[in-house]
Chains A and B, each alone.
Chain A
Amino acid sequence: MTDNFGEAGSIFTVSPVQITNFSSDFEFTILPFEIGIPLADGMTFCIQSAGPMALGGSGGGLGYELIPTSVAIKFDVFDNNGEGTNSTGVFTDGEFPSVPKSNGDVLIALSGTGIDLTSGDLFHAVITYHNGSLTIAITDTATGASFQKTISIDIPSVVGGSRAFVGFTGGTAGLAAVQTIYTWTFSGQGPYDFNRRPLTLRCRPRSVG
């Protein structure tokens, strides 16, 4: 997603997929750009209907800020407005993903949970959405620590339909991080355009870093 200072990056499906019920399963790392320099800023898993080329603001915007009709689950490693250097959460409609400013936005501090997004470990995240309940599950594959939180949100209402583009965003600024998605499986439940089968996408980079 990012590999230098002052970047915003995003990767989305070219076509909209079913998001009324889904599971998104991915592995990622957030690594230092240079040893000894603090990490910044973070990344998101994003569901949006703006289009496959959607790209938000860099830095604390996490590549997500200002993407309209959207929902983002963030993985934040920089403290912009008091959120701390280790948080997740849910933000909507391109809201600056630091601390909640509108109804429905949720900040979840990860300190004390055993999950430290700044550790450089490989994390396994599973985000599931079923009947209006969004569950965020994060596991540190190195330590085995895990965290899970469920919140209520009407994602189709926020993005304006039962189909949307799904993918990831990331951002850096004066500080940087190398943020990489290693594997991703997205399973949408419901009719799909081809043969009415659930859609599953998988991507595996040939190299890391």
Chain B
Amino acid sequence: MKKLVLLLHVLGTVFGQSTPRVLVGLIGLMCVLCGVRAEARTLDHSSGFANHDDLMANGSNTSAQLRF
């Protein structure tokens, strides 16, 4: 965290005080994009594995189990 503050300070010094805000904005945008991509991977099963959210196990004596 200390290094991040130092980095923002240096960037602000070199490129002006608006740079840290732009950087934070960029980081936020990257997080949003990564989130969208992760959701796409969850929904697209064409090359991946199903997860517990895709299948439901039912058992009269807790017999059926999902083990991945």
Give the secondary structure class of B's interface: loop
Chain A residues with CB under 8 A of B68: 203-206
A198 close to B46 (CB less than 8 A):
yes
Q: How many pairs of A and B residues are in contact by the CB < 8 Å rule?
A: 89
Q: Are A13 and B55 in contact (CB under 8 A)?
A: yes
Tell me whether B63 is interfacial, beta carbon within 8 Å.
yes
Chain B interface residues toward A at CB < 8 A: 40, 43-50, 53-61, 63-64, 66-68
Tell me if A55 and B59 are in contact (CB < 8 A): yes
Separation of A145 and B54 alpha carbons in the complex (Å): 33
Please name the residue on chain B nearest to A55 by beta carbon. Answer: B58
Which chain A residues border B56 with CB–CB below 8 Å? 11-14, 52-53
B67–A10 touching, CB < 8 Å? no
A1 near B58 (CB under 8 angstroms)? no
Report Cα–Cα, A14/B53, bound state, in Å: 7
The chain A residue sitting closest to B61, CB to CB, is A7
**A9 lies within 8 A of B45 (CB):** no
Within 8 Å by CB of A12, from B40, B44, B55, lies B55
